[in-house]
Amino acid sequence: MTTMFMKVLFCMLFCTTVLMAADKNVFDFMLNSIDGQPTSLGSFKGKVVMLVNVASRCGFTPQYSALESIYEKYKGRGFVIVGIPANNFGAQEPGTNQEIKTFCTAKYKVSFPMMSKVSVKGGDITPLYQFLTDKSASPKTGGEIQWNFTKFLVGPDGRVIARFEPEVTPDSPEVIAAIEKALSGLRQ
């Protein structure tokens, strides 16, 4: 009887752990703002969020203009972009957080939230990107980040809706359609 009880208890604990992991979403993570302040992504709960790993010296860097444009267009409807600098690809984001902030605001007039520089792949990958790239947990949107300006569209429940690779611009018809569809489900 004791052995049976232990097996049942173990099974219940295992199932609870699996369910808790399955319930994890983007809003469970913390990052530091570009100014170094701890920022819970949970503060964006109820909004449609686009997470983008960005870099200042990349061929895709001009996408900052389109990102700012769609942020301005949709922010009043519950949309937010979160820029997450990373130096994982070709050392294209070598600056300090202050240098990144100055560059983004001076050159591209970025007003959407920017986070402190993190790693989006490799042995020092930040927990948020471990979660986003976990192919077993997210077969449709997981997988290693290939380059700067990979975009993850996140619903108001913190679940990833879509992933767009760097070549897909933020203002492309497919991205705009996904944003508008996600926003249509929000209560105004």
Residues annotated as catalytic are 58
Beta-bridged to residue 83, according to DSSP, are 52, 114
Q: Where are the alpha helices (DSSP H) in the chain?
A: 2-22, 63-74, 97-108, 127-132, 173-184
Phi and psi for 164 in degrees, rounded to 5? -125, 130
Helix (H, G, I), strand (E, B), or coil: what is residue 62?
coil
Q: How far apart are CA 96 and CA 26, in angstroms?
A: 25
Identify whether the C-beta of residue 115 lies closer than 8 Å to the C-beta of residue 8.
Answer: no
